[in-house]
Amino acid sequence: MSGFYPVPPTLTARLVAKVPSELYAQRETEWLLPSTLKPPPIFLEGITTDTNGNLYVVDVPYGRVLKLDLHGSGQFSVVAEWDGEPNGLALSDDGTLGVADYKQGVLRLDPADGKVTPLLTRRNLERFKGPNDLIYAKNGDMYFTDQGQTGLTDPTGHVYRLGPTGKLDALITNGPSPNGLVLSPDEKFLYVAMTRDNSVWRCPLHPDGTTTKVVRFYGLTVDSLGNLFICHPGLSCVFVVEPTGIPKARIVMPGAGGAAGKAHVTNCIFGSTAADAQTLYFVDSSGAGIYAVDWDAPAGTPLRASNVTTGP
């Protein structure tokens, strides 16, 4: 026993695919990892899936979105490339991808032709600090985090909600590095990862669109039973906790005994097709790998997590 709860079981994921080195971008970039102060050859985040069996990830330093054909060729391809630093991806009901881009704001990407267009680049004429992640609610509302360089010494990160009419509401204005976010299955709660605070905030969503009595909790991808999946880059694993916060499982990569500190597990999502609705995919950002593990409850909605507790 550990504390009041039994030690949760450890599940080992399987490698699905790795981005081949010939698809690495060959150009200069200003994007740096704080731990190395030099640009990495590739850094994946923003994992999401569609109902056609495709998996999408962003290559942050080089302003790219890559696609993996999960159930067909099993090959990666470049969907789009632009002058940006994309972090988060979310699939909209119209089949386009919302993109949270640190440099350019919130964008829209049409995966059919690779066209990238601005969706929201300013608030009241002022540029954002640096958007990090986004999700869509069932009613079409978009929630996104504006992280920038905020942290414990500058807890001014924002969480916004953009309605279908274009109305923009600031739900949180005092976040110490708001990062990944996800909605509960009933969409009554919004979970937001506060990276530099090493915590996840649970935000009750009221009918008028406001939030009060925000508390620290766990998060961020959720299955149909409300279990929450936490990507932890520093420990190179995914933690699973029940809706009440009780530890349920730990998911690691193959050979995880020496993986901590070498890999960056930053994003996870359930598959969107009938064949993989009970499969949790997650990404090793610095290792360019996509991993998967079977789970006993399908995702309630295609939601995702990003950089939950530590990381860039």
Of the CATH numbers 3.30.930.10, 3.40.50.970, 3.30.310.50, 2.120.10.30, which one belongs to the domain with range 21-204? 2.120.10.30
Buried b or exposed e, range 182-216, using 16+ CB within 10 angstroms? bbbbeeebbbbbbbbbbbbbbbebeeeeebeebee
What Rg do the C-alpha atoms of the chain give, in angstroms? Answer: 18
Average pLDDT (216-231) is 81
Average pLDDT (263-283) is 91
Residue 302 reports pLDDT greater than 70: no
261 contacts: CB under 8 Å, gap ≥ 6: 234, 236
| CB-based contacts of 121-130 (< 8 A; 24+ apart in sequence) | 123/160, 123/168, 128/158, 129/156, 129/157, 129/158, 130/102, 130/103
pLDDT at 305: 36
Backbone angles phi, psi at 194, to 5 degrees: -105, 90
157-204 per-position pLDDT tens digit: 999 999 988 999 999 999 999 999 999 989 999 999 998 888 889 999
208, 215 Cβ separation under 8 angstroms: no
- In the chain, which residues fall in CATH 2.120.10.30? 21-204
177-188 per-position pLDDT tens digit: 999 999 998 999
Residue 216 reports pLDDT greater than 60: yes
d(CA 121, CA 94): 21
Task: Compare 306 and 117 and report the one with higher pLDDT.
Answer: 117
pLDDT at 221: 78
Tokens 């990944």 correspond to 180
Classify 40 in phi/psi space as left (phi over 0), alpha (psi -120 to 50) or beta: beta
Q: 243: pLDDT confidence band, cut at 50, 70 and 90?
A: confident
43-101 per-position pLDDT tens digit: 999 999 999 999 999 999 999 999 999 998 999 999 999 999 999 999 999 999 999 99
Average pLDDT (117-142) is 95
pLDDT at 24: 96
Average pLDDT, the chain: 88
